Amino acid sequence: MSSTAPSLRDLARTLGLSHTTVSEALRNNPRVKPETRQRVQEAARAAGYQHNPLAGALMSEMRRSRTGTFRGVIAVVDLDGPKNRPLASARYHRELMRGANARAGELGFKTEYFSMGDEGLTPMRLDTILQSRGIRGVFLLPVSDNPDFSRLDWSLYAGVYTDYVIEHPALHSVCANHFRSMFTALQQLHTLGYRRPGLVLQGHHDERLMHRWEASFLAYQKYSGKSPKVPPLIVPDIERESFTEWFGKHDPDVVLCHRAEVIGWMEGRGARVPSTHGFCCLNIMMNPRPCAGIDLQANLIGARGIELIIAQLYRNEYGVPEHPSTTTIPGAWRDGPTLRNMTRDAKKSRPRTTRKTPVP
């Protein structure tokens, strides 16, 4: 062979095999005998052969569409499936996919959705589909618990998980910067004149993010020197009884929480939102009710995840990374009807003093 990296046809001629057999052996197709697959793969490594991720996708797409237009395909994989997903999570997932679809199109790719939830695909069936279509990029949607995508043959794929932590397997991930987003919210609330912020979280949600929301809130209280310390309410389930007890005891002037239903509980204790108290939503996509708070920018997270996958494809980086990284996207502040500018309104309500004109 020449000193340059060989093509697939070069390998086939050297090994005395057909082009199709070599191609399928490199994709671990079970129709090729194990000893033949091993021989082809060892020869490819020794010769410095590198798979072209776009060529396989091109040929697969041309066979399916019978056109010469290239569109690389990236699989969007949903482990839970949409059937029983809560409405709030469904909105977030839709926005993630909207961002992913748009960015993939801009970069000459398209996405294809695969559900592995109830009545969905098995990992073995998904592997077969992805291999047969030459799909090497996998975009993983967030799941409610610790995700386990380990049953896929990751030696064939470049993947990104769109949430904070994935360990089975430990892939690259992209997610919101929850720590920084909390600081953004607290600084904005202080600017608006709120001085007793109170945080309410569901315990499982806090743990899943390795306590990023809580840690940022406590750090702000400790080091900013700007606000009295209202202890956060972190409970297994956010319920009216525990919330109203905490709210009545500590009297926060603004509540930071994911769930807007607590506004009704605040008003049940005599608060009027936003006249006397405020509400800041930690993820404004969680509620159909308009709220002030943090936009975690799911659209941008989806777009960035696609960019990371395509970068891996161009670099021929497949499998579980040796050093997985996490890319974080800062949340953006959004004004809304659940807050008012306390500082400005206080200035407006002050009585004006009239200057007396001196008598000549």
pLDDT at residue 275, as a whole number = 96
Domains of the chain: 72-177+299-330 (3.40.50.2300), 178-295+335-347 (3.40.50.2300)
For residue range 312-356, what is the model confidence (pLDDT) as tens digits?
A: 998 889 999 999 999 999 999 999 999 999 777 666 655 544 444
pLDDT at residue 356, as a whole number = 43
Provide mean pLDDT across the span 251-276.
96
Look up tokens 């405020």; give the residue. 278
Provide mean pLDDT across the span 14-36.
80
Provide mean pLDDT across the span 279-301.
95
Provide mean pLDDT across the span 3-13.
73
Instruction: With cut-offs at 50, 70 and 90, classify the pLDDT of residue 160.
Output: very high
Instruction: With cut-offs at 50, 70 and 90, classify the pLDDT of residue 64.
Output: low
pLDDT at residue 165, as a whole number = 87
Nearest Cα to 303, choosing from 165, 135, 105? 105
Q: Which two tokens stand for residue 199?
A: 């945080």
- Which of 31-45, 164-178, 297-311 has the lowest average pLDDT? 31-45
pLDDT at residue 214, as a whole number = 97
Between 357 and 106, name the one with better pLDDT. Answer: 106
- Which of 109-123, 184-198, 263-277 has the lowest average pLDDT? 109-123
Q: How far is CA 355 from CA 162, 167, 360, in A?
A: 62, 70, 15
The C-alpha angle with vertex 232 and arms to 86 and 332, in degrees rounded to 5, equals: 60
pLDDT at residue 211, as a whole number = 95
Share of the chain above pLDDT 90, in %: 59
pLDDT at residue 53, as a whole number = 52
Are 203 and 356 a contacting pair, CB within 8 Å? no
Provide mean pLDDT across the span 84-92.
84
- Which of 9-23, 269-283, 285-299 has the lowest average pLDDT? 9-23
First vs last C-alpha separation in the chain = 110
Between 146 and 56, name the one with better pLDDT. Answer: 146
CA distance 280 to 257: 7
What does pLDDT average to over the chain?
A: 86
Say yes or no to pLDDT of 250 above 70. Answer: yes
Grouping H, G, I as helix, E, B as strand and the rest as coil, residue 141 is coil
pLDDT at residue 9, as a whole number = 78
pLDDT at residue 346, as a whole number = 62
Q: How far is CA 243 from CA 24, 208, 294, in A?
A: 59, 21, 21
Say yes or no to pLDDT of 67 above 50. Answer: no
Provide mean pLDDT across the span 269-289.
95
